[in-house]
């Protein structure tokens, strides 16, 4: 199933408290529970003014629907074409 990277513009995201991040996470999980097992949240990375999320879903439209139902911005949604890390340098082609 495809993975998607979602860029969410959230001014001050890096200053959100642990309680606020918990509430956002609970909202997201609640929406996911209603949408069914086809869409899954992998993780999110919080920066100063953005949150970058990785989701597994059958298509971009489902990711956008999750954002809409949860009241989250989805300023950019891109399908991941490959994942690389330091071990990629060691792989034989």
Q: Enumerate residues 6+ apart whose C-beta is below 8 A from 50.
A: 7, 8, 9, 10, 13
CB 62, CB 35: distance < 8 Å: yes
d(CA 59, CA 61): 5
Q: Which fold has domain 3-83?
A: Alpha-Beta Plaits (3.30.70)
Write the pLDDT tens digit of every residue in 57-89.
Answer: 999 999 999 999 999 999 999 999 999 999 999
The residue extents of the domains of the chain are 3-83
Write the pLDDT tens digit of every residue in 10-62.
Answer: 999 999 999 999 999 999 999 999 999 999 999 999 999 999 999 999 999 99
- pLDDT level of residue 91 (50, 70, 90 thresholds): confident
């Amino acid at each position: 199933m495809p993975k998607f990277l979602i860029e969410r513009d959230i001014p001050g995201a890096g200053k959100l408290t642990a309680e606020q991040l918990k509430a956002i996470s609970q909202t997201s999980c609640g929406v996911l529970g209603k949408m069914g097992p086809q869409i899954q949240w992998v993780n999110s990375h919080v920066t100063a003014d953005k949150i970058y999320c990785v989701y597994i879903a059958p298509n971009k439209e489902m990711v956008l629907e999750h954002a809409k139902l949860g009241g989250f911005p989805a300023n950019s949604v891109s399908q991941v074409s490959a994942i690389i890390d330091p071990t990629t340098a060691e792989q034989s082609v």
